[in-house]
């Protein structure tokens, strides 16, 4: 009954009330803590999702890995030491399940088959790097993960071997999110070839970018109509390549994709969950994860370029996702972010995935920073 009511409310449209960013950040962080505590595998990792149909899932190594930097950043910003301790539990668990090769398995911790996957390894690498920078003691798993990625990379910068058993096969443009993990590792270990491998991958991905910024080979299941989630992964990786190298070609490439995505954005922040190569909609639902990821990238590009189109797009997209988040009600969904809006959309149907909340927190924190900077400039001009 509750799920049917949720579907009915979602289909009526996004709520009109826009809760404050700081409230949503707090609620979403609380929900992520609950996702760690309620994981069906009870191992220190973060549950993949919560579903009103099936309850809490088991822990998901891939996204637990990149939740670590978000928790550490919030701990630094708020002084919440509990968040730091939670990241230690995540990192210790990730170290325990790391495969002998240094790789991380695909899927949930209890998924079969247990297969090493470059993408998942790259995401956990982000966590190991943040853990090593904050606590020390995670340098060995960090190096093992990074070294494995370099070892199994193809000469053209792609990762064709060890394809995930949970996605379609083939080279994928969104593997630039692996490159991001390697860029971060290169900041700690600059002499292990991580940066060269990462740059090679981003250059490979850009061979799939069209003039209008659209990426071919950029989806989990259908390259002809990629999710905004995977487009967001690809865009973030290209943006991080520019942040690392300061090569203007990467900034230009990121802007092409960001500009194309803006043409798909409605004024109310609605971004279709799947898009075609001309940036037209291929779904009648929103992938909230992808919207949050892309909002972050737009705001980051605004910081890089001063182009107000990116600022306004980021603000609108964040506001749309914020309005879908319940800030009161049952603890299992308070602060959670649906996979799709409406909740019966095709992406993570009927579920609240942990990475959706993580990416929204990141995007809202960046929005707050942008707004503070704007207020400071206006104050200086007054």
- Give per-residue pLDDT as tens, 226-282: 999 999 999 999 999 999 999 999 999 999 999 999 999 999 999 999 999 999 999
Residues 114 and 247 in one domain: no
Mean pLDDT, residues 97-104: 98
Cα–Cα dist 355/57, whole Å = 13
Question: In the chain, what is the greatest distance between 2 CA atoms, to the nearest angstrom?
Answer: 62
Contact predicate 101/109, CB 8 Å: no
Residue 1: the pLDDT is 56
- Give per-residue pLDDT as tens, 26-69: 999 999 999 999 999 999 999 999 999 999 999 999 999 999 99
Q: Is the dihedral of CA 142, 145, 151, 154 positive or negative?
A: negative
Residue 272: the pLDDT is 98
Does residue 225 lie in a domain region? yes
Contact predicate 68/86, CB 8 Å: no
Residues 154 and 220 in one domain: no
Q: How far is CA 297 from CA 25, 261, 288, in A?
A: 18, 11, 14
By DSSP bridging, strand 286-287 and strand 340-341 are antiparallel
Residues 198 and 246 in one domain: no
> How many structural domains comprise the chain?
2
Instruction: Place 218 in a pLDDT band, splitting at 50, 70 and 90.
Output: very high
Name, in order, each residue with C-beta under 8 angstroms of 152's C-beta and a sequence gap of 6 or more.
118, 159, 161, 162
pLDDT over 70 percentage in the chain: 99
Residues 292 and 361 in one domain: yes
Does residue 252 lie in a domain region? yes
Provide φ and ψ at 216, rounded to 5°. -80, 165
Does residue 4 lie in a domain region? no
Domain span at residue 149? 60-207
Residues 184 and 269 in one domain: no
- Give per-residue pLDDT as tens, 140-165: 999 999 999 999 999 999 999 998 88
Residue 133 has pLDDT above 80, yes or no: yes
CATH number for the domain harbouring residue 247: 1.50.10.20
């Amino acid at each position: 009954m509750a799920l049917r009511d949720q579907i009915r409310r979602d289909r009526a449209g996004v709520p009109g009330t826009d809760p404050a960013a700081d409230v949503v950040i707090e609620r979403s962080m609380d929900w992520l803590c609950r996702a760690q505590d309620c994981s069906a595998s009870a191992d220190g990792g973060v549950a993949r999702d919560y579903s009103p149909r099936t309850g809490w899932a088991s822990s998901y190594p891939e996204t637990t890995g990149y939740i670590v930097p978000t928790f550490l950043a919030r701990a630094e910003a708020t002084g919440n030491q509990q968040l730091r301790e939670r990241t230690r539990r995540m990192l210790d668990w990730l170290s325990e399940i790391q495969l002998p090769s240094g790789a991380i398995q695909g899927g949930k911790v209890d998924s079969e088959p247990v297969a090493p996957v470059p993408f998942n390894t790259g995401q956990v690498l982000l966590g190991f790097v943040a853990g090593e920078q904050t606590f020390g003691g995670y340098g060995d798993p960090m190096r093992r993960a990074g070294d494995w990625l370099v070892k199994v990379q193809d000469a053209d910068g792609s990762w064709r071997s060890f394809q995930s058993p949970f996605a379609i096969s083939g080279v994928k443009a969104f593997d630039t999110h692996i490159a991001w993990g390697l860029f971060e590792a290169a900041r700690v270990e600059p002499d292990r070839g991580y940066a060269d491998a990462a740059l090679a991958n981003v250059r490979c991905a850009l061979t799939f970018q069209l003039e209008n910024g659209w990426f071919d080979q950029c989806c989990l299941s259908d390259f002809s109509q990629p999710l905004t989630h995977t487009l967001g992964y690809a865009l973030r990786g290209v943006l991080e390549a520019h942040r690392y190298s300061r090569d203007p070609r990467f900034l230009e490439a990121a802007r092409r994709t960001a500009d194309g995505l803006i043409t798909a954005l409605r004024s109310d922040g609605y971004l279709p969950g799947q898009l075609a190569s001309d940036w037209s909609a291929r779904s009648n639902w929103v992938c909230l994860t992808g919207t949050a990821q892309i909002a972050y990238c737009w705001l980051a590009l605004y910081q890089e370029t001063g182009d107000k189109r990116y600022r306004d797009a980021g603000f609108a997209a964040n506001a749309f996702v914020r309005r879908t988040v319940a800030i009161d009600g049952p603890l299992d969904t308070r602060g959670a972010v649906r996979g799709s809006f409406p909740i019966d959309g095709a992406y993570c149907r009927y579920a609240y995935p942990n990475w959706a909340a993580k990416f929204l927190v990141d995007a809202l924190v960046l929005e707050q920073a942008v707004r503070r900077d704007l207020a400071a400039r206006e104050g200086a001009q007054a």
